[in-house]
Structures are given as C-alpha cells and as structure tokens.
C-alpha cells in the first residue's frame, strides 16, 4: 500500500506561528517563521480574518497580526493536505477578439 504524503496547510502554519508568538507579528515575520510564500501568507490571513481567528492593526505604516483563537468561528479545520502530483493545467489565454470567452472586464 503506498504511503500518502501529507503537508501542512499554509493556514494551519500561520495560525500556529501566531499562537506561538503570543504578540503582534508582521507579515514578513510570518514568512520567516513558516517558510511559506508571501502570497500564501496573505491568503491565509485573509481567510482567518473572515472567521475572526486573527485581528489586525496598522502601526507606523505596517500591518500587524495577532491570533484570537477564542473568537474563531471556523466549523472545520484542515491541518494537512495531499499535494497535487501533476499540478494544475494552464490553458492558453484567448482574447475575446479572437473567439475567446468574454470576461467581466471586456
């Protein structure tokens, strides 16, 4: 039976780092602490803020983040995920001028 490779999700890594810090943390400090990309950190923080699991405040032009696990309203938590083997299929861009689908912005 093949073993299933599981890796931690960016959201779980960010939440663990914020809880461990027990203080306000910047985004760049989260990148260093978790090893995730800034895009993954931003997406995780945005998702966690929607569930009130984190709070943010601006100080001297920087956005600071703090965990608020007691206010967390998430009903389901996914700590690990199975990585994609083949990756995503990238489709070539087709302009509406050349028979492509219309978008909201064209």
Domain that holds residue 7: 1-71
Does residue 93 fall inside a structural domain?
no
Does residue 102 fall inside a structural domain?
no
Does residue 83 fall inside a structural domain?
no
CA 91 to chain centre: 24
Whole-prediction pTM: 0.72
Residue 105 predicted with pLDDT over 60 = no
Place of tokens 């990148």: 31
Does residue 8 fall inside a structural domain?
yes
CB 44, CB 28: distance < 8 Å: no
**What would the pLDDT profile of 20-52 be if each residue is shown by its tens digit?**
998 999 999 999 999 999 999 999 999 999 999
Does residue 97 fall inside a structural domain?
no
Name the domain count of the chain: 1
Does residue 80 fall inside a structural domain?
no
Does residue 60 fall inside a structural domain?
yes
Residue 83 predicted with pLDDT over 70 = yes
Does residue 66 fall inside a structural domain?
yes
Write the CATH number for 35.
Answer: 1.10.10.10
């Amino acid at each position: 039976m093949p073993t299933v490779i599981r890796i931690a999700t960016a959201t779980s890594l960010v939440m663990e780092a914020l809880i461990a810090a027990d203080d306000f943390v910047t985004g760049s400090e989260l990148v260093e602490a978790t090893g995730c990309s800034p895009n993954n950190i931003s997406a995780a923080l945005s998702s966690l803020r929607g569930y009130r699991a984190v709070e943010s405040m601006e100080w001297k032009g920087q956005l600071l983040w703090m965990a608020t696990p007691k206010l967390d309203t998430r009903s389901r938590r996914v700590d690990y995920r199975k990585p994609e083997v083949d990756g995503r299929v990238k489709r070539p861009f087709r302009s509406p001028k050349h028979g492509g689908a219309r978008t909201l912005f064209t």
